[in-house]
């Protein structure tokens, strides 16, 4: 079985972390959590993937405010 690419691991980890935080996660906290989960990942690669989460997964991730990432399944009427 083929090993997952670094970018796929980052995306999977980011979505899993956001699923654990219904209130959402700030950009810097999400970056740090991904880096802590897999030290082999390059910080600039993590940064680039997190920065474009909403663009790549518009049906799953949104930003209720600047710098805050949240899964759409947690979206409230106030957002």
pLDDT in tens, the chain (79 residues): 457 899 999 999 999 999 999 999 999 999 999 999 999 999 999 999 999 999 999 999 999 999 999 999 998 766 6
Q: Residue 79 domain-assigned?
A: no
Predicted local distance difference test score (pLDDT) of residue 77: 67
Residue from 49, 54, 47 nearest 68 by CA: 54
The pair phi, psi for residue 35, each rounded to 5°, is -60, -40
Q: Residue 39 domain-assigned?
A: yes
Give this prediction's pTM.
0.89
Return the CATH number at 26: 1.10.10.10
Predicted local distance difference test score (pLDDT) of residue 2: 52
> Residue 16 and residue 69: Cα distance in Å, rounded?
12
Domain range holding 46? 6-73
Q: Residue 49 domain-assigned?
A: yes
Predicted local distance difference test score (pLDDT) of residue 1: 46
Residue pair 46/4 in contact by the 8 Å Cβ criterion: no
Q: Residue 69 domain-assigned?
A: yes
Q: How many domains is the chain built from?
A: 1
């Amino acid at each position: 079985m083929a090993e997952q690419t670094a970018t796929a691991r980052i995306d999977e980890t980011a979505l899993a972390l956001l699923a654990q935080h219904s209130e959402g996660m700030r950009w810097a906290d999400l970056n740090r959590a991904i880096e802590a989960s897999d030290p082999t990942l390059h910080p600039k690669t993590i940064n680039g993937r997190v920065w474009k989460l909403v663009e790549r997964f518009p049906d799953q991730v949104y930003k209720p405010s600047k710098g805050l990432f949240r899964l759409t399944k947690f979206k409230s009427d106030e957002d």
